[in-house]
Amino acid sequence: MLKSEVQQRWKDERFVQQNLAMLRRALMDKASLNGLDLRGIIVGLADGRSDCMNLDFQETNLRELRADWGKFSCSFVGAQIKASSFKESFFDTCRFKNAHFSQCEFNGAKFASPHLDDGTFQGCDFGQAKMQGRGAREYGGRRILFDGCRFNEAVFQNLQFRSTTFRNCSFGKAMFKKCYLAGIKFEGTAISLEQLEATETQTLSLDGNELLL
């Protein structure tokens, strides 16, 4: 299904009410929900539907969610999301504190000024994704765990990462631009000097040993 066709579905009231009913049940009852199709949804932004304006994914338990081409400006605090797809989605100032994403696809997604404190991402694909702060070295997060994630051609820009662990991740052609990295632990693999552009680093390590770039 084409992106334009996916987005057009949100003008079909029958489709909207069916999917929003299931989503609201998951949000309000904190029920586990599988296979929800939210591709093209707009949450918390002015160009979306009014009945989606105040939704959030806080403390949800979702599996096999399809949310490609979505736009989100909302909370994912404490969410447990597995085997789901957010390809080419847009996350505007979303909060991911204590969220756990496992085996999720964020290929081509854009994260504007994300708050990632204590978030965990396991086996996720961030290929060609972009995380960018709107200001100079804006907040990114502390104590984040990226475990077995793929960052091929991903770009991190104008963000701070502190006390964060990258465990067995791949960084093919990834770039950190105008970032601040402090107390970063790499396990198994690490970035190279060529992948840092106007980025300040402090106390990096690889497998417990000091990493000098």
Q: Are 194 and 213 in contact (CB under 8 A)?
A: no
Of the candidate CATH numbers 3.40.50.720, 2.160.20.80, 1.20.1250.20, 3.40.50.300, the domain formed by 3-210 belongs to 2.160.20.80
Question: What are the tens digits of pLDDT across the range 20-34?
Answer: 888 777 777 767 888
Encoding tokens for residue 13? 């009231």
At 11 the pLDDT is: 85
45 burial via Cβ count (<10 Å: 0-12, 13-18, 19+): middle
Q: Where are the domains of the chain?
A: 3-210
For residue 138, the tally of other CB atoms under 10 A from its CB is 18
* Averaged pLDDT, 144-148: 98
* Averaged pLDDT, 54-61: 90
Tell me the one-letter amino acid at 185. Answer: K
Tell me the whole-structure pTM to 2 decimals.
0.94
Q: Which residue has the higher pLDDT, 73 or 8?
A: 73
Which residues on adjacent β-strands are paired with residue 92? Answer: 112
DSSP 85: B
At 32 the pLDDT is: 81
